[in-house]
Amino acid sequence: MSQQLSTKEESKITLKDLKTESKKSSETTSFSTSRQESKSKTQSQSVEKDPIESWGKPLGLPSPIQPPTSQGDGKSTPKKQGPSSNVQIKNKLNQEKSKDMKNRASESPSKKKSPSPVYMELTYVPHHGNSYYSAVEFFKRVRARYYVFSGTEPSKDIYNALLDAKKTWEDKDLEVTIIPTYDTDVLGYWVTENEEALERYKIDLSPSASRCTINLQDHETSCAAYRLEF
């Protein structure tokens, strides 16, 4: 009898154990299924809340063309130039400009085109023969048959400027006549010092206008003047 009781008790225990294990397994399966369902719900919600889908289909516009670059195969985007690079470019341009200006200034006068001279019958030397206002360049550009030196004290430098300019004239056979308004010692000494050069370059000296006399039409009045006929 005791053995039968023990077997019955053991069978009861095993049945209880089986029932508890079955309950646990059912709980775990229900918990896993609930977790899977919650995951699927969250995934579906995340898919539904995607903002890109609400934008609709793309318009199909062409992609922008990238500007060409000096380096590489043209696929890389150009680098942005900072303020320092802009300053360097400006400095380089200024240096090139200064070099060009220096090269132009260093050019010899022979390379530069000189203006064509003006030929006249008669001209007055500016400012009464003052060398500060008239120089060799004046006699090179203004080439006259008669030069009037009006003044009581003409400078010796202005006479030398006329002689130096006459040496540079292309036509050496052109005659030049100096007409002074007054006799001065400076002109007398200069003529005696350069007598041979004046003869070679055909520069003649006329008497001063103060020593010349012209009679008017009534033949009764006269005045000091120099008469020229063209």
**What would the pLDDT profile of 124-133 be if each residue is shown by its tens digit?**
998 877 777 7
Q: Is residue 32, in this structure, part of any structural domain at all?
A: no
Question: Mean pLDDT, to the nearest integer, of 138-142?
Answer: 93
- Mean of the per-residue pLDDT values for the chain? 75
Q: Is residue 149, in this structure, part of any structural domain at all?
A: yes
Q: Is residue 211, in this structure, part of any structural domain at all?
A: yes
Contact 167, 134 (CB under 8 A): no
Using CA atoms, how far residue 112 sits from 75, 103, 118, 210, in Å, is 51, 13, 18, 43
Stronger pLDDT, 93 or 182, i.e. the higher one: 182
Stronger pLDDT, 131 or 81, i.e. the higher one: 131
Q: Can you give the residue range of the structural domain that contains 143?
A: 118-224
Structure confidence at residue 113 (pLDDT): 67
| CA distance linking residue 183 with residue 49, whole number of Å | 116
Predicted confidence (pLDDT) at residue 222 exceeds the cutoff of 60: yes
Predicted confidence (pLDDT) at residue 196 exceeds the cutoff of 70: yes
Q: Is residue 210, in this structure, part of any structural domain at all?
A: yes
Amino acid at 186: V
Using CA atoms, how far residue 4 sits from 148, 156, 186, in Å, is 168, 165, 171
The closest alpha carbon to 144, from 166, 169, 176, belongs to 176
Question: Mean pLDDT, to the nearest integer, of 184-208?
Answer: 92
Predicted confidence (pLDDT) at residue 142 exceeds the cutoff of 90: yes
Q: Is residue 203, in this structure, part of any structural domain at all?
A: yes
What's the whole-model pTM score?
0.49
How many domains in the chain? 1
Question: Mean pLDDT, to the nearest integer, of 56-73?
Answer: 69
